[in-house]
Amino acid sequence: QERIQVRQERMENRQEQIQENKDERVENRQQRRSDIAENHALRLEKRFGSYYTRLSAIVTKIQARIDASTTKNTTEAQSKLNEAKTKLEQAKVSADSAIAQFKAIDPTKWEEQKEKAKLARDEANKARQGFIDTPKLLNESVKVLKSAPVK
Protein backbone atom coordinates (compact mmCIF):
# COMPACT_ATOMS: atom_id res chain seq x y z
CA GLN A 1 0.00 0.00 0.00
CA GLU A 2 2.73 2.36 1.01
CA ARG A 3 4.83 1.44 -2.02
CA ILE A 4 1.94 2.19 -4.33
CA GLN A 5 1.49 5.58 -2.75
CA VAL A 6 5.22 6.40 -3.06
CA ARG A 7 5.17 5.31 -6.70
CA GLN A 8 2.15 7.52 -7.43
CA GLU A 9 3.85 10.48 -5.79
CA ARG A 10 6.96 9.92 -7.91
CA MET A 11 4.86 9.74 -11.06
CA GLU A 12 3.06 12.94 -10.12
CA ASN A 13 6.40 14.63 -9.43
CA ARG A 14 7.71 13.49 -12.81
CA GLN A 15 4.59 14.75 -14.54
CA GLU A 16 4.97 18.13 -12.81
CA GLN A 17 8.64 18.29 -13.79
CA ILE A 18 7.82 17.44 -17.37
CA GLN A 19 5.15 20.16 -17.47
CA GLU A 20 7.52 22.70 -15.90
CA ASN A 21 10.21 21.85 -18.46
CA LYS A 22 7.70 22.17 -21.26
CA ASP A 23 6.50 25.56 -20.00
CA GLU A 24 10.09 26.73 -19.63
CA ARG A 25 10.91 25.72 -23.21
CA VAL A 26 7.84 27.56 -24.51
CA GLU A 27 8.84 30.64 -22.52
CA ASN A 28 12.42 30.47 -23.84
CA ARG A 29 11.16 30.06 -27.40
CA GLN A 30 8.88 33.08 -27.04
CA GLN A 31 11.71 35.16 -25.62
CA ARG A 32 14.03 34.17 -28.49
CA ARG A 33 11.36 35.07 -31.03
CA SER A 34 10.84 38.40 -29.34
CA ASP A 35 14.57 39.12 -29.35
CA ILE A 36 14.91 38.08 -32.98
CA ALA A 37 12.01 40.29 -34.12
CA GLU A 38 13.33 43.26 -32.14
CA ASN A 39 16.88 42.80 -33.46
CA HIS A 40 15.56 42.47 -37.00
CA ALA A 41 13.56 45.68 -36.64
CA LEU A 42 16.64 47.50 -35.32
CA ARG A 43 18.83 46.21 -38.16
CA LEU A 44 16.24 47.26 -40.73
CA GLU A 45 15.90 50.66 -39.11
CA LYS A 46 19.65 51.22 -39.22
CA ARG A 47 20.13 49.86 -42.74
CA PHE A 48 17.17 51.60 -44.34
CA GLY A 49 18.01 54.83 -42.52
CA SER A 50 21.52 54.84 -43.95
CA TYR A 51 20.21 54.03 -47.45
CA TYR A 52 17.76 56.91 -47.25
CA THR A 53 20.38 59.36 -45.97
CA ARG A 54 22.92 58.50 -48.67
CA LEU A 55 20.42 58.48 -51.51
CA SER A 56 18.88 61.77 -50.35
CA ALA A 57 22.33 63.37 -50.44
CA ILE A 58 22.87 62.09 -53.97
CA VAL A 59 19.46 63.40 -55.07
CA THR A 60 20.36 66.81 -53.65
CA LYS A 61 23.67 66.86 -55.56
CA ILE A 62 22.02 65.89 -58.84
CA GLN A 63 19.29 68.49 -58.30
CA ALA A 64 21.97 71.15 -57.78
CA ARG A 65 23.67 70.00 -60.96
CA ILE A 66 20.43 70.25 -62.92
CA ASP A 67 19.68 73.69 -61.48
CA ALA A 68 23.19 74.90 -62.34
CA SER A 69 22.93 73.71 -65.94
CA THR A 70 21.61 76.78 -67.73
CA THR A 71 22.76 75.97 -71.24
CA LYS A 72 21.14 72.56 -71.58
CA ASN A 73 17.56 71.35 -71.83
CA THR A 74 17.12 69.58 -68.47
CA THR A 75 13.43 68.67 -68.64
CA GLU A 76 13.98 64.96 -69.22
CA ALA A 77 16.72 64.75 -66.59
CA GLN A 78 14.44 66.56 -64.11
CA SER A 79 11.60 64.13 -64.80
CA LYS A 80 13.93 61.15 -64.18
CA LEU A 81 15.12 62.79 -60.97
CA ASN A 82 11.53 63.39 -59.86
CA GLU A 83 10.78 59.74 -60.55
CA ALA A 84 13.79 58.75 -58.42
CA LYS A 85 12.63 61.06 -55.61
CA THR A 86 9.18 59.48 -55.70
CA LYS A 87 10.66 55.97 -55.64
CA LEU A 88 12.90 56.95 -52.72
CA GLU A 89 10.00 58.34 -50.70
CA GLN A 90 7.90 55.24 -51.40
CA ALA A 91 10.80 53.07 -50.22
CA LYS A 92 11.09 55.18 -47.04
CA VAL A 93 7.37 54.77 -46.31
CA SER A 94 7.59 50.99 -46.90
CA ALA A 95 10.68 50.77 -44.69
CA ASP A 96 8.98 52.64 -41.83
CA SER A 97 5.91 50.43 -42.19
CA ALA A 98 7.99 47.22 -42.15
CA ILE A 99 9.91 48.35 -39.07
CA ALA A 100 6.70 49.20 -37.23
CA GLN A 101 5.17 45.84 -38.19
CA PHE A 102 8.21 43.92 -36.91
CA LYS A 103 8.14 45.83 -33.64
CA ALA A 104 4.41 45.11 -33.21
CA ILE A 105 4.75 41.32 -33.40
CA ASP A 106 3.78 39.70 -30.08
CA PRO A 107 5.85 36.54 -29.52
CA THR A 108 3.34 35.02 -27.09
CA LYS A 109 0.87 34.65 -29.93
CA TRP A 110 3.36 33.55 -32.59
CA GLU A 111 1.06 31.09 -34.32
CA GLU A 112 -1.57 33.80 -34.75
CA GLN A 113 0.99 36.38 -35.81
CA LYS A 114 2.89 34.33 -38.36
CA GLU A 115 0.89 36.04 -41.10
CA LYS A 116 1.80 39.49 -39.73
CA ALA A 117 5.47 38.50 -39.78
CA LYS A 118 5.17 37.45 -43.42
CA LEU A 119 3.47 40.74 -44.30
CA ALA A 120 6.23 42.66 -42.51
CA ARG A 121 8.84 40.67 -44.44
CA ASP A 122 7.09 41.42 -47.74
CA GLU A 123 6.94 45.13 -46.85
CA ALA A 124 10.66 45.09 -46.03
CA ASN A 125 11.41 43.44 -49.38
CA LYS A 126 9.31 46.08 -51.11
CA ALA A 127 11.31 48.82 -49.37
CA ARG A 128 14.57 47.11 -50.27
CA GLN A 129 13.54 46.92 -53.90
CA GLY A 130 12.69 50.63 -53.83
CA PHE A 131 16.13 51.42 -52.46
CA ILE A 132 17.66 49.29 -55.23
CA ASP A 133 15.65 50.97 -58.01
CA THR A 134 16.40 54.53 -56.89
CA PRO A 135 20.13 54.53 -57.82
CA LYS A 136 19.27 53.13 -61.23
CA LEU A 137 16.92 56.05 -61.83
CA LEU A 138 19.54 58.48 -60.53
CA ASN A 139 22.10 57.05 -62.97
CA GLU A 140 19.63 57.46 -65.82
CA SER A 141 19.02 61.04 -64.76
CA VAL A 142 22.75 61.83 -64.83
CA LYS A 143 23.18 60.13 -68.23
CA VAL A 144 20.28 62.10 -69.67
CA LEU A 145 21.70 65.31 -68.21
CA LYS A 146 25.12 64.64 -69.75
CA SER A 147 23.65 63.97 -73.16
CA ALA A 148 21.03 66.72 -72.99
CA PRO A 149 20.88 68.99 -76.06
CA VAL A 150 21.80 72.64 -75.80
CA LYS A 151 18.87 75.04 -75.50
Q: pLDDT for 53-102, tens place per residue?
A: 999 999 999 999 999 988 888 899 999 999 999 999 999 999 999 999 98
Q: What is the pLDDT of residue 24?
A: 92
pLDDT for position 27? 85
CA–CA dist 93, 123 (Å, integer): 10
Contact present, 94 and 123 (Cβ < 8 Å):
yes
Report percent pLDDT > 70 for the chain: 98
- SS3 (DSSP) at 103: helix
Tell me if 57 sits within 8 A of 6, measured CB to CB: no
Grade residue 21 by pLDDT with cuts at 50, 70 and 90.
very high
Query: Predicted confidence band at 30 (pLDDT cuts at 50, 70, 90)?
Result: confident
Q: What is residue 102's predicted lDDT score, i.e. its pLDDT?
A: 87
How does 12-36 read in b/e, with b if 16+ C-beta sit within 10 Å? Answer: eeeeeeeeeeeeeeeeeeeeebeee
